[in-house]
Structure 1
Amino acid sequence: MMTKQLISWQPAGLFHTCTRLAADKNVLVKLRKKTGYSFTNCKKALDKFSNDIKQAEVWLHEQAQKEGWSKASKLQGRKTAEGLVGLLHKGNTAVLVEVNCETDFVAKNVKFQQLVQQVAVSTLKHCQSTEGDQSSHLKGFLAGEDFLQMKTEESSLKDLLALTIGKLGENMIMKRAAWVTVPSNMFIGSYMHGSLPADMPFLANMAFGKYGALAICKPNNCKTNVTELGRRLGQHVVGMSPSSLGSLEDESAGETETRMLAQPFLLEPSQTVGQYLQAYDVQVLDFVRFECGEEVQTTS
């Protein structure tokens, strides 16, 4: 008599296939998180290079750059009346940058703020690489093609601009940057008006807004609270928009409207800026003011 034999049947390769699918999903999630590109594009890249994440990442960047340049060319010429001023202050160096876009909605986007941050970081590195007289302050301005060719960790600012245009779909321009560095016996006051909150931790070292100012100061009294005083002076520069530093003598000559030291101090109008500084035994040597969207005079 024949007996029935129980046979355990398992489709060939089932466990292997499930493991492979799980591994593919993990790689997809990792690539998506690292690059920020869509799941669809990340999957396409992984399929193209048999789940080689390095090759997939390179290919994604190349494709995004091509699409970005294509979109940048199409959008070129569209008005960029909005944007942000960015402030980065580190030690004895500070920079102001302006990047413009078409709408305030995009100006509030984290990817746009990352672009402003990259411009500021590149400007800071440029400033730190500039040799000069270490006994006094140094100030410089950047704009135009030389500005756009400055390098980030992965590309030029010009390439990064095209890539961001491709992602956000608006025309943008990197308008200008200013940098200041001072020796140890001076300090830089800084102020940003209309500041936006830094939603992401990696933006915490930046200040974003529509108006920014730097004030280069030299204290004669080491007990002066330079941080608060510097903020107040920057606030004055933003609010009163002086066009030159001037001197205390300008007040008696009636030159009070545009020369900083002779202007009524914004926070205490009964005093001029010069008089206010005398009480703290501090000198203002120079200043920089950026207003987002303002017309900038260029010199040849």
Structure 2
Amino acid sequence: MRVSDWYKSCALVACYEGEDEAAKAAEAAAAAAVAADDVKAPEGFTPDQQKKFNDAVATERRKQEAKYRKELEKTEGTYKELLANSKSLTEKERQTLQDNLETIQGQLRSKEQQAAQEKKELEVSYQGKLTAAEKRAQEAETRWRDSTVLRGLQDAAVEHEAYSSSQVVTILKSMTRLVEKVDANGKGTGQFDVMVDFPDKDATTGQSVMTSKTPTEAVKRMTEIPEFQNLFRKNVVSGVGGNSAIGGLTPGSNGRIDVRNLTHDQYLKVRAENPELLGLRPNGRR
């Protein structure tokens, strides 16, 4: 017999030859088992008669349950064989067989096995939900950390008049982290400071050192370092000396430069080359 002969239409449950008889037998066995539970002993039975009656009913129930289980095991084996060996099954037919097989396997499990199976399924479901929740929490924390760092750097860049705050953020972001505040006992408070691990040079020795600065302190220090000065308006403006030691600083209305905007090296160079911008007399003049 061809496998396709076992299927009458797509609307029917997939079956095999003899399935109707097996199903009917299984149903009859189940009905008999239920009926056995409903059998009532006649009134007036002596304790001994009642015991014999109960034993007989229990024996019959076990027979029916055994018969029912045997029919289910037979059906289970047939379904497994069909799934393993039938090459001509359509995807829909194969899925129908698989669904029926799982239903039968569920019926064959003992109460303990069924409880264990349900527990396992719940654990898998719970673990999946827990993993998804942890992932969402991690993503939310990452977004919060990134936005907190970004806001701190952007505010500092605006405070120090950067031409483009995004440029300053790009330079400092990889150096920036959140540091949790601690109380007097050294325990975390749940509050965080934005700190920048800023590479700098020791003012005395000239050696490279790693410093820890707030975003405002880090950006302010950038305004004092020649390689970064072109990023800030107070150091680079349209006007005189765009490529000079003063980095393009424009003299004020009195023709002088505000020395507060100069680094020490800039001040020395301007004093030597353009002392008039500092309100000093040029060299050689009295």
Fold shared by both chains (TM-score > 0.5): no
Question: Could you tell me the TM-score, scaled by structure 2's length?
Answer: 0.28
More strand by share: 1
More helix by share: 2
Question: Could you tell me the TM-score, scaled by structure 1's length?
Answer: 0.27
